[in-house]
Amino acid sequence: MKPLVVYYSWTGNTERIAKALAAELDAPLACIEEQKERRRGWGFVTGGFQAFFGIRTPIVTPDLDWDSCDPVWLGSPVWATKPAPAVRSFIDGRRWEGRTVHIFMTLADTRTKGALQRFAKILTDKGAHVQSRHAATIPMSRKLGAEEAVAEVQQWLASAADGT
Ligand SMILES: Cc1cc2nc3c(=O)[nH]c(=O)nc-3n(C[C@H](O)[C@H](O)[C@H](O)COP(=O)(O)O)c2cc1C
């Protein structure tokens, strides 16, 4: 079994974490894409609404050998305190019973616990075991740097390994 890193990212922060993670784990990386390009501005308003009310959006299904991947490292930005709609769509389209999942999120807020809990619950309700979780806070005024992402990931992996 091989680990797999899957993520959705609109503005690039979650992608930075996902890429750093895939490099550290030497794991394949799969990107979840929305079928319809999300426009700046209006896409923010509709995205927040969709995320808050759990509305799914059509995605391009990533081509994955799902049954031979374990664990899955699944990443999402926080939208309106919840995972992004495209991630909900991805979760709906897969089987999660008995699967080990590590979740990661990026967000602007320093309060990260609630969003991680909501993300984890979506997966545990589907039978997954959420083994570790990590959130990176990045102010909306800037993007996460590539080196910063590597440091975030190394810190997460070290704490996941010693169970903290
Ligand atoms: C529609 C929308 C809603 C957001 N809602 C929140 C929120 O509730 N809390 C928060 O801390 N950040 C929120 N953010 C900020 C994003 O979580 C943050 O910028 C994240 O790093 C973006 O990830 P990405 O670059 O991978 O798309 C929101 C951003 C968008 C676009």
**What does the pLDDT read at residue 164?**
53
Question: Which is the closest atom of ligand 1 to the Cα of 16?
Answer: 26
With a 6 A CB cut-off, is 10 part of the ligand 1 pocket?
A: yes
d(CA 20, CA 119): 21
pLDDT tens-place string over residues 84-134? 999 999 999 999 999 999 999 999 999 999 999 999 999 999 999 999 999
In this prediction, residues 8-33 reach a mean pLDDT of 97
Domain that holds residue 149: 2-157
Q: Model pTM? A: 0.96
Q: Among residues 40, 98, 46, 37, which one has the least CA distance to residue 67?
A: 98
In a domain, 162, yes or no: no
| Beta partners for residue 101, in sequence order | 72, 130
Query: Is residue 138 pLDDT above 90, yes or no?
Result: yes
Give the CA distances from residue 96 to residues 108, 114, 123, 150, in Å, rounded to whole numbers and listed in that order: 29, 22, 7, 28
Q: Which CATH number covers residue 117? A: 3.40.50.360
Distance 85 CA to ligand 1 centre (A): 12
- Whether 103 maps to a domain, the answer reads yes
Please report whether residue 120 resides in a domain: yes
**How many whole angstroms from 116 Cα to the centroid of ligand 1?**
13
* Residue 122 alpha carbon to ligand 1 centre in Å: 18
In a domain, 29, yes or no: yes
pLDDT > 60? residue 145: yes
48, 22 contact by CB (below 8 A):
no
pLDDT of 163 strictly over 80? no
